[in-house]
């Protein structure tokens, strides 16, 4: 009897484990994602279908120009041009829109038409209530043609499903000229047979740079006729054609009431590469299976963090943010490992996966630190991709899109990505090569670099963005020391010294980082609220605190903790004068703080460094609850390839990476009752917030693995070990928690890093 009892107990436990695993496998995190978030206002996201880190982003295009058309889609529009296969998520510059198809009924029109009269071209009116967007799938009803469009994707291939009205004149338009903010160099189309077409699109001038994309497209049924419009001339029997302006139509018989499906595979290498991608990823015509696979892929990635909350809106906001954090970087090689490198030569990946779309001025701050926790294997692949550029292009990337370095912003922020990974123990790459590559980029010829090395700052009378360049160069140079500390004493001291150059722009009289001329004198007409070409997308309030490598040193030169506290208070309470702050990027403002743009993203956490943890908690909760929602206008600025969302993911769990390159995170205010991080090493780390809820942003006490925890920062290794961090929250601030100097976040100090004396 006892044996049977034990057996039943074992069977019950096994059943419970099985049910738990089954529930975990079936839990539909994707149900809490709204891809429409960020498509309105200035979020610049796209609503279409993609898979995590996939090459294809198959999405509707409603416009191709204007700043708010960077992703090809804006929620305020009411007509669709077509469905193209490449898009950037939330960038401030337009690009993509490659290989656009559009189904139409009746009269064949190869011009796009205009928004005032959509019947003048292939464009069609649509309503948002007829749209449906979910991870890996998008659908919409085109009202001008009364037809349903459905889209899904694999990594390198997009799949379309068009349901036409019964007995209609069904046509599918291909507009190779169409693109987002680019200019055409050359286009090519070849008709292989009645179900397959191939070609390429070579363009320049957009965020993607000089860009050649090959494609193979297959229809699920033969077309009965086709026609091509090339540079204004119509041809009906030509099978191969190159042009600078090229559209084509393909007409089908739909009497069998069956939808027409279309598969489109991409490659940056060749038509044959695209064909291999299609045959490997979508060999059949099972649209629903591909859609389900895409959703499963998203659920696998989204399950890396499990949150518990009764607030469904905030749950949607969180998982949408996590979704947006996993769109870029994107895979940049064919199924056979071939890829096009920065030198425009083809190579085959050996021991790594090649990625691109590194919007590093944005993403070094939160997105890549988030990856060091939940995407460690991919972090290694990203750094190996960086080193591939060093091998073949000659340098690490700075702002790379679609495989091309675009030099779009200041700084050289692949360095903090490598430094952060290295500091956190992620070193499965050639670390010696990484150090050599970091030094080469840090010593390279960037705007103002010679004066920076000679004077210790960049003079405003010779270069634009002199303040922001100096501060970002100084931080990036410091990042070299993260590796040099283990490999080279001389490099360690040299780059530490340059990491102190920020001091040369601090003006004691005004209390701000201030432009300085090549004669050593300060800029006379200085207004810290004024946006100017001395900073990058910000004013002196938003840039003066960008010294992540030495926040303690910054506090010291600003007059100590008390003055620093007051400086922060003034920053968060001084209302913006819109006649002085006119930049479209500087949005989501709380006083002078601007959540809508990256330079501010660390600032609310700096109260922890001066022992006023409750103010960090208050400000972080305010940002989380007022500047993010689950609606189309739910972002307070450009998504910027995942940075805006990664800030939310980290901050809502209760911490943030103020300094990429240090192995800790600064604690803020956890938004959810519980967040469980499922780590790649098999461990899990839980952050719990007891007595949490609206109006309770303040930490009363904390315990790490059952022991009292009094620090206002959290070590990376404590997360990786697995465990539990429990906060008790309240309505009133606990001004004693984590305020002592020994419990505050810290900066490394190096006596060898004295700033050279500047003589004028």
User: For residue 753, what pLDDT is reported?
Assistant: 63
**Domain finish residue from 301, 332, 365:** 301
Q: What percent of the chain has a predicted confidence (pLDDT) above 70?
A: 95
User: For residue 758, what pLDDT is reported?
Assistant: 58
Q: Residue 113 is part of a domain; what is its CATH number?
A: 2.70.98.10
Clarify whether residues 354 and 228 are in a common domain: no
Number of domains in the chain: 2
Clarify whether residues 410 and 500 are in a common domain: yes
Clarify whether residues 558 and 457 are in a common domain: yes
Burial class of residue 451 (count of CB atoms within 10 Å of its CB; 0-12, 13-18, 19+) = middle
Clarify whether residues 492 and 514 are in a common domain: yes
Range 444-459 average pLDDT: 96
Range 293-315 average pLDDT: 98
pLDDT band at 24 (very low <50, low <70, confident <90, very high): very low
* Two structure tokens written together for 459: 């003079």
Clarify whether residues 374 and 483 are in a common domain: yes
Range 586-604 average pLDDT: 97
Report the range of poorest mean pLDDT among 4-13, 230-239, 471-480. Answer: 4-13
pLDDT band at 591 (very low <50, low <70, confident <90, very high): very high
Q: What string of H, E and C letters represents the secondary structure of 158-211?
A: EEEEEECCCCCCEEEEEECCCCCCCEEEEEEEEECCCCEEEEEEEEECCCCCCE
User: For residue 760, what pLDDT is reported?
Assistant: 56
Neighbours of 27 (CB within 10 A): 13
Question: Which are the contacts of 431, defined by CB distance < 8 A and separation ≥ 6?
Answer: 422, 483, 487
pLDDT tens for each residue of 673-697: 999 999 999 999 999 999 999 999 9
User: What Cα–Cα distance (Å) separates residue 630 from each residue in 71, 154, 551, 668?
Assistant: 19, 26, 34, 22
pLDDT band at 22 (very low <50, low <70, confident <90, very high): very low
Clarify whether residues 365 and 230 are in a common domain: no
Clarify whether residues 317 and 275 are in a common domain: no
Distance of alpha carbon 342 from alpha carbon 334, whole angstroms: 16
User: For residue 16, what pLDDT is reported?
Assistant: 33
Range 718-741 average pLDDT: 98
Inform me whether the pLDDT recorded for 656 exceeds 80. Answer: yes
pLDDT band at 519 (very low <50, low <70, confident <90, very high): very high
Q: What percent of the chain has a predicted confidence (pLDDT) above 90?
A: 92
pLDDT tens for each residue of 108-126: 999 999 999 999 999 999 9
Clarify whether residues 259 and 391 are in a common domain: no
pLDDT band at 168 (very low <50, low <70, confident <90, very high): confident
User: What Cα–Cα distance (Å) separates residue 572 from each residue in 561, 565, 566, 575, 603?
Assistant: 17, 11, 10, 8, 10
| Mean per-residue pLDDT over the chain, rounded | 94
Residue 80 covered by a domain: yes
User: For residue 167, what pLDDT is reported?
Assistant: 77
Range 642-648 average pLDDT: 98
Residue 22 covered by a domain: no
Q: Do residues 86 and 71 touch, judged by C-beta distance below 8 A?
A: no
pLDDT band at 11 (very low <50, low <70, confident <90, very high): very low
Determine the structural domain holding residue 466 and report its residue range: 305-667
Residue 17 covered by a domain: no
Inform me whether the pLDDT recorded for 563 exceeds 60. Answer: yes
Phi and psi at 631, nearest 5°, equal: -105, 165
Residue 465 covered by a domain: yes
pLDDT band at 498 (very low <50, low <70, confident <90, very high): very high
Beta-bridged to residue 153, according to DSSP, are: 158
Inform me whether the pLDDT recorded for 335 exceeds 70. Answer: yes
Distance of alpha carbon 684 from alpha carbon 633, whole angstroms: 33
User: For residue 754, what pLDDT is reported?
Assistant: 66
User: For residue 255, what pLDDT is reported?
Assistant: 79
* Two structure tokens written together for 377: 């294997």
**Domain finish residue from 650, 667, 684:** 667
Q: Residue 448 is part of a domain; what is its CATH number?
A: 1.20.1610.10
pLDDT band at 474 (very low <50, low <70, confident <90, very high): very high
Clarify whether residues 616 and 570 are in a common domain: yes
Residue 747 covered by a domain: no
Clarify whether residues 401 and 279 are in a common domain: no
Question: Which are the contacts of 18, defined by CB distance < 8 A and separation ≥ 6?
Answer: none
Clarify whether residues 287 and 319 are in a common domain: no
The region, left, alpha or beta by phi > 0 then psi within -120 to 50, assigned to residue 57 is beta
User: For residue 438, what pLDDT is reported?
Assistant: 98
Range 490-514 average pLDDT: 96
User: What Cα–Cα distance (Å) separates residue 103 from each residue in 25, 169, 255?
Assistant: 37, 11, 16
**Domain finish residue from 607, 632, 667:** 667
pLDDT tens for each residue of 27-50: 999 999 999 999 999 999 999 999
Beta-bridged to residue 200, according to DSSP, are: 188, 214
Inform me whether the pLDDT recorded for 2 exceeds 50. Answer: no
User: For residue 19, what pLDDT is reported?
Assistant: 35
pLDDT band at 334 (very low <50, low <70, confident <90, very high): very high
Residue 99 covered by a domain: yes
User: For residue 550, what pLDDT is reported?
Assistant: 97
Q: Do residues 689 and 667 touch, judged by C-beta distance below 8 A?
A: no
Residue 48 covered by a domain: yes
Distance of alpha carbon 760 from alpha carbon 758, whole angstroms: 7
Residue 731 covered by a domain: no
Distance of alpha carbon 726 from alpha carbon 600, whole angstroms: 28
Clarify whether residues 235 and 321 are in a common domain: no
């Amino acid at each position: 009897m006892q044996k049977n009892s034990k057996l039943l107990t074992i069977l019950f436990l096994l059943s419970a484990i099985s049910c738990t695993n089954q529930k975990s496998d079936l839990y539909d995190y994707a149900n809490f994602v709204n891809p429409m978030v960020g498509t309105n206002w200035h979020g610049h996201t796209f609503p279409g279908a993609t898979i995590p880190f996939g090459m294809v982003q198959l999405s509707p295009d409603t416009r191709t120009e204007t700043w708010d058309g960077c992703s090809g889609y804006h929620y305020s529009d009411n007509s669709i041009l077509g469905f193209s296969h490449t898009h950037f998520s939330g960038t401030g510059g337009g690009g993509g829109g490659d290989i656009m198809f559009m189904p139409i009924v009746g009269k064949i029109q190869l011009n796009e038409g205009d928004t005032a009269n959509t019947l003048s071209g292939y464009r069609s009116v649509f309503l948002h209530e007829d749209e449906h967007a979910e991870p890996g799938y998008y659908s919409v009803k085109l009202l001008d043609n009364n037809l349903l469009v459905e889209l899904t994707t694999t990594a390198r291939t997009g799949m379309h499903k068009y349901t036409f009205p019964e007995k209609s004149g069904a046509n599918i338009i291909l507009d190779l000229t169409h693109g987002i903010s680019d200019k055409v160099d050359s286009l090519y189309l070849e008709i292989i047979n009645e179900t397959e077409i191939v070609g390429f699109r070579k363009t320049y001038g957009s965020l993607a740079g000089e860009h050649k994309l090959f494609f193979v497209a297959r229809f699920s049924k033969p077309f009965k006729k086709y026609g091509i419009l090339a540079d204004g001339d119509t041809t009906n029997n030509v099978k191969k054609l190159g042009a600078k302006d090229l559209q084509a139509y393909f007409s089908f018989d739909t009497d069998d009431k069956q939808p027409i499906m279309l598969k489109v595979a991409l490659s940056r290498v060749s038509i044959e590469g695209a064909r291999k991608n299609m045959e490997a990823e979508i060999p059949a015509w099972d649209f629903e299976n591909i859609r389900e696979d895409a959703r499963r892929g998203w659920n696998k990635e989204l399950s890396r963090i499990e949150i518990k909350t009764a607030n469904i809106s905030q749950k949607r906001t969180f998982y949408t943010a996590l979704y947006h954090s996993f769109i870029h970087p994107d895979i940049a090689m064919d199924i056979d490992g071939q890829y096009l490198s920065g030198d425009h030569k083809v190579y085959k990946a050996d021991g790594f996966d090649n990625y691109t779309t590194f919007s590093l001025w944005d993403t070094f701050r939160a997105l890549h630190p988030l990856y060091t926790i939940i995407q460690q294997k991919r972090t290694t692949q990203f750094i190996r991709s960086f080193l591939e550029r060093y091998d073949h292009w000659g340098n690490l990337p700075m702002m790379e899109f679609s495989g091309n370095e675009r030099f779009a912003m200041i700084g050289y922020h692949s360095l903090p990505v490598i430094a952060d990974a290295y500091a956190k123990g992620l070193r499965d790459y050639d670390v010696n090569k990484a150090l050599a590559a970091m030094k080469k980029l840090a010593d390279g010829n960037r705007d103002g670099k010679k004066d920076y090395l000679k004077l210790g700052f960049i003079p405003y009378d010779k270069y634009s963005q002199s303040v922001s360049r100096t501060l970002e160069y100084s931080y990036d140079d410091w990042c070299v020391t993260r590796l040099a500390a283990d490999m080279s004493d001389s490099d360690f001291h040299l780059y530490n010294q340059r990491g102190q150059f920020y001091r040369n722009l601090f003006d004691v009289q005004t209390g701000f980082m201030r432009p300085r001329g090549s004669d050593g004198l300060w800029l006379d007409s200085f207004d810290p609220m004024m946006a100017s070409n001395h900073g990058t997308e910000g004013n002196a309030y938003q840039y003066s605190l960008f010294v992540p490598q030495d926040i303690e040193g910054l506090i010291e030169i600003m007059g100590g903790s008390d003055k620093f506290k007051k400086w922060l208070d003034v920053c968060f309470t001084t209302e913006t004068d819109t006649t002085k702050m006119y930049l479209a990027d500087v949005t989501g403002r709380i006083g002078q703080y601007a959540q809508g743009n990256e330079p501010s993203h660390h600032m609310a956490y700096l109260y922890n460094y001066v022992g006023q943890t409750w103010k960090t908690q208050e400000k972080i909760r305010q940002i989380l609850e007022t500047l993010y929602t689950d609606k189309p206008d739910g972002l307070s600025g450009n998504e910027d390839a995942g940075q805006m969302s990664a800030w939310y993911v980290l901050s809502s769990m209760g911490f943030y990476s103020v300094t990429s390159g240090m192995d800790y995170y600064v604690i803020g205010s956890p938004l959810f009752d519980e967040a469980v991080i499922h780590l790649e090493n098999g461990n899990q780390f839980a952050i719990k917030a007891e007595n949490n809820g609206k109006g309770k942003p303040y930490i009363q006490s904390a315990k790490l693995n059952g022991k009292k925890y009094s620090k206002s920062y959290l070590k990376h290794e404590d997360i990786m070990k697995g465990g539990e961090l429990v906060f008790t929250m309240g309505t009133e601030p606990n001004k004693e928690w984590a305020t002592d100097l020994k419990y505050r976040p810290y900066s490394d100090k190096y006596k060898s890093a004295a700033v050279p004396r500047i003589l004028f």
